[in-house]
Structure 1
């Protein structure tokens, strides 16, 4: 008999009628022959009310007691849902996280799942019960109640689906699936039938609110199909699985992150260890860094630009100011009036001129680009906040995201053409680990035979990036990494990109022509470079990855020429002569995390 995990968020159990509606959905699934586990969040705004009560009685509530308090929201919901199921004539048992065997570490408010004992749930299912499990919570080794943090109920549902071997994990929410962008910002956004784990991870990290990235990480690691659907209708929704909806469409979604701030550390000595010093200081303040751009140094100096959440700008500036003298940087600039527009697509790694198409769309819409960073499946551009909406609409229209791709496949079509048992041995091995949310790296690799081109003194005005990459595309040159950051000399920007070594000469000719046309300061090219990539699941939620990477390279006296980051990869460009040394030292440092 198949097993389904159904998760109902706070809006789906916000009042008695919605609770009864959720109960009816679970009973209907059971009547269709499925065994059913429900994972339930706190009702509506109940968590907000609990937080208000805590601050009313204590200016600084102890973390342990906060978890004890917040866990009661889910306990209320599961009891009420179980009562509703009983009243509708079916059998149900409600369980807290501790009661159904969720063991976590002891990091209050942000606990990680260590293991789940499924024996009690399976016994109750065998007796014909619908099991109603509290999301968001577990217990540590000392039986203290812990909570999982933001998106914790999604993570609970996916984790249970993994350890129970569920056929699917249904996420019932107040939207009817995943859209090509936020439909509240663009009404023409299209609901997609299928989206890949990797695409959804990038979109979730960019602010797509359907699901939290941590739960997608779990689903990818354990091959759990996720079905996002509405609590209030029977529309099919969206499947989040390994393959993408389309193999030919370069972009599957676009996202806008409004509350960004840009910081540039100017004149950083271009020697090993500088990146490590900067990002260690920021990590010590528990600040999450997003876009990271280090461009190629000139005259022994480099500029390092990155973005942080706008509300964390000042604490980040304070951290940087504290180390300015130590690292020998010449200054720091910042801009709190920026936003980030991004496009994501699994197929873009196989197609030329995707970046040029995005930059042209922004130029035609009159949107200036302040920073660029790319990965294999994502391109992000930092733009003025007052042009953010125009930027999102421009890229959405340019990639025709409102239209279903001609080769788009439904989940049923994908299932029919795939092997359902692929990689199951690997899944079983991972599930036997006593740290289910441990960092998992899929590869540490070097890409040799690379070259790079850097344009210095690029005018900070609309359309320049589009012209650069239009010309590169017309020359038939495939571009890998692109970074654009601020130039400390005159407030202009600098643009670097990596290419195959055999393309260096034609790329330099194009770059020199562009340099003359726009009166840029200089063009530099170099071969003999290597891209070092650390790929895995959980790079954002395990914030130590970047710190360890930079520490190891600094210890080995390996200089970093360029940096570009994403949800799935940290990429750095180094001298080819040190490629194997870099790969080997990182493999040793991350040995426990490599799959």
Structure 2
């Protein structure tokens, strides 16, 4: 008998009529032969109302008491949902997070799940009940109620699906599914039939508001297919399935995202020596600041600039942390800019189809949009642009990759479920061990690539179209580029660095020298470098990952020349004679979380 977890968000249970509609959906699934677990959020704006009420009572409410207060919103919803199911002739039981056995750490307001007991839920399911679970909450080892923070009910739903071995986790919301970009700002956005966990992790971290990153991390770690559907459509109209497969094998890009609420900080003139990046990221991690786009240019005269982006809400705290680090490092200073946006293209197809970055750069150049910084990963290219041009940049990228048109052949719902089921054929003891620390950082591998060369074009004009011209020249030479980093421009000049296969080093240098003679700039190259990387789940939500990585490399005397980051990967370029030592250091540093 199949098991389904159905999650209903606040807008889907905002009033009595919607609660009864959700109850009918659950009963219908049960009548069709499935065992059903429901996860519900607080009704409508109930949580906001409770936060406002707390603010009226006192200026700075204690975090523990806020969790006690906010958890009541979901308890109201589960009780009403059980009443609705009973009234419709069904059998149901409502359970709080603590009654289910959701154990968390003691970080009030942003607790992480440590384990979930399945016994009580399984017993009620065996008795024919629909189990209605309160989302967003759990209890710590002292029995205190905790809440999971933003996206907590999604996280609860996918976590329960993982523990119960559910066939699918259905997320009911007020949108039809996952779109190629935000349909509110791009009318030509198209609903995708499916999207991979890796792609959705990137899109979620870039601002796609349909799902929160933590819930997707659970889905990826435990191979849970997640079906995002519209709760207002009372038919079997499919939404979008988030699972192990991409929508299509013949498209390099699946989605485009625009991150509007970010700020850029640059630590200027950082001494180019082992440990500099570790010091900076360590200060940011101590302030619990999640850093997104990290760009370090190649050192010159013993100094390098390190830029990164943070949420606007974290700008002041990040600036303070960066200034502290700059003082410790004897850097030249810190510059900040809150008027930037980041446009990113994401797709598993980038791994096998080259030229994606060049197409993006050309599209932005044709629109006259200047790129302030670039960073890449195996499945993402991100460009920092002026905030006033962000929406235009997103539309240009969406148009360039023809994302409004459905692919010729799309992965089906059935294929995604089959792939997830096959991936779950794992040793039962191994699964149990993973479930005992559900939200722990998981590193899938520490890698070393010894096949690359590094070519840098310095002091080239920081104007629209420069990146496109650089990569046109490289492509014309028949060279496939791996890692791309463009640093933030200073005084109208910028630096672009790229790694290429070692056998293509001379061709790349020749191509860029010819271009530099035309547009200006200086070529610096290294015919052999190594790329070290770590890949896994929880890379961004665990703020200390970068600090741990760079501290390990610093302790081993390995100097980092370039940095590229994504939601699932951090890559650094180091000297060719330091790669092996760096890999040993990373394997030792992450031995406790490698799976």
Partner in structure 1 of residue 60 of structure 2: 60
- Give the drift of 1:266: 1.4
Counterparts of 2:292 and 2:421 in 1: how far apart (Å)? 35
Answer yes or no: is the 8 Å Cα contact 1:221–1:427 preserved in 2: no
Partner in structure 2 of residue 435 of structure 1: 437
Counterparts of 1:496-507 in structure 2, within 5 Å, are 496-507=497-508
Partner in structure 1 of residue 488 of structure 2: 486
Partner in structure 1 of residue 122 of structure 2: 122
Answer yes or no: is the 8 Å Cα contact 1:266–1:302 preserved in 2: yes
- Give the drift of 1:137: 0.5
Answer yes or no: is the 8 Å Cα contact 2:270–2:326 preserved in 1: no
Counterparts of 1:164 and 1:246 in 2: how far apart (Å)? 30
Deviations 1:432-490 (A, max 9, x none): 342111111100010002101101112111111111111211222111110111255x3
The normalised TM-score by structure 2 is: 0.98
Counterparts of 1:539-558 in structure 2, within 5 Å, are 539-558=539-558
Give me the CA root mean square deviation. 1.3
Q: Which moved more, 1:374-383 or 1:316-325?
A: 316-325
Pick closer, same or farther for the CA change 1:419–1:280 going to 2, 3 Å.
closer
Counterparts of 1:242 and 1:45 in 2: how far apart (Å)? 34
- Give the drift of 1:247: 1.0
- Give the drift of 1:331: 2.6
Partner in structure 2 of residue 315 of structure 1: 317
Partner in structure 1 of residue 42 of structure 2: 42
Counterparts of 2:300 and 2:84 in 1: how far apart (Å)? 68
Counterparts of 1:511 and 1:319 in 2: how far apart (Å)? 38
Partner in structure 2 of residue 230 of structure 1: 230
Counterparts of 1:3 and 1:537 in 2: how far apart (Å)? 25
- Give the drift of 1:299: 1.4
Counterparts of 1:367 and 1:594 in 2: how far apart (Å)? 41
Picking from 282, 304, 318, the partner of 1:280 is 282
Pick closer, same or farther for the CA change 1:423–1:6 going to 2, 3 Å.
closer
Counterparts of 1:417-432 in structure 2, within 5 Å, are 418=419, 420-425=421-426, 429-432=430-433
- Give the drift of 1:288: 1.5
Answer yes or no: is the 8 Å Cα contact 1:137–1:145 preserved in 2: yes
- Give the drift of 1:243: 1.1
- Give the drift of 1:509: 0.7
Partner in structure 1 of residue 265 of structure 2: 263
- Give the drift of 1:355: 0.3
Pick closer, same or farther for the CA change 1:419–1:430 going to 2, 3 Å.
closer
Picking from 381, 384, 393, the partner of 1:382 is 384
Partner SS, residue 592 of structure 1: coil
Partner in structure 1 of residue 351 of structure 2: 349
Picking from 236, 246, 249, the partner of 1:247 is 249
Partner SS, residue 486 of structure 1: coil
- Give the drift of 1:365: 1.0
Picking from 351, 371, 381, the partner of 2:373 is 371
Partner SS, residue 250 of structure 1: coil
Counterparts of 1:324 and 1:195 in 2: how far apart (Å)? 41
Answer yes or no: is the 8 Å Cα contact 1:11–1:173 preserved in 2: yes
Pick closer, same or farther for the CA change 1:303–1:339 going to 2, 3 Å.
same
Counterparts of 2:421 and 2:105 in 1: how far apart (Å)? 33
Counterparts of 1:375 and 1:562 in 2: how far apart (Å)? 13
Counterparts of 1:459 and 1:590 in 2: how far apart (Å)? 41
Counterparts of 1:576-587 in structure 2, within 5 Å, are 576-587=576-587
Answer yes or no: is the 8 Å Cα contact 2:169–2:224 preserved in 1: yes
Unaligned segments of structure 1, at least 5 residues: none
Partner in structure 1 of residue 87 of structure 2: 87
- Give the drift of 1:350: 1.4
Q: Which moved more, 1:199-208 or 1:326-335?
A: 326-335
- Give the drift of 1:423: 4.5
Picking from 453, 472, 475, the partner of 1:473 is 475
- Give the drift of 1:115: 1.1
Counterparts of 1:311 and 1:281 in 2: how far apart (Å)? 17
Answer yes or no: is the 8 Å Cα contact 1:456–1:487 preserved in 2: no
Partner SS, residue 495 of structure 2: strand
Partner in structure 2 of residue 5 of structure 1: 5
Partner SS, residue 325 of structure 2: helix
Partner in structure 1 of residue 153 of structure 2: 153
Answer yes or no: is the 8 Å Cα contact 1:373–1:482 preserved in 2: yes
Counterparts of 1:175 and 1:409 in 2: how far apart (Å)? 21
Q: Which moved more, 1:276-285 or 1:243-252?
A: 276-285
Pair 1:400 & 2:407 matched: no
Aligned positions, number: 592
Partner SS, residue 98 of structure 2: coil
Deviations 1:18-71 (A, max 9, x none): 000000000000110101000000000000011011111121111111111110
Answer yes or no: is the 8 Å Cα contact 2:509–2:525 preserved in 1: yes
Answer yes or no: is the 8 Å Cα contact 2:225–2:416 preserved in 1: no
Partner in structure 2 of residue 18 of structure 1: 18
Partner in structure 1 of residue 460 of structure 2: 458
Partner SS, residue 357 of structure 1: helix
Partner in structure 2 of residue 164 of structure 1: 164
Counterparts of 2:469 and 2:275 in 1: how far apart (Å)? 35
Picking from 346, 359, 362, the partner of 1:360 is 362
Partner SS, residue 190 of structure 1: coil
Partner SS, residue 426 of structure 2: helix
- Give the drift of 1:569: 0.3
Partner in structure 2 of residue 575 of structure 1: 575
Partner SS, residue 424 of structure 1: coil
Counterparts of 2:109 and 2:416 in 1: how far apart (Å)? 38
Answer yes or no: is the 8 Å Cα contact 2:289–2:543 preserved in 1: no
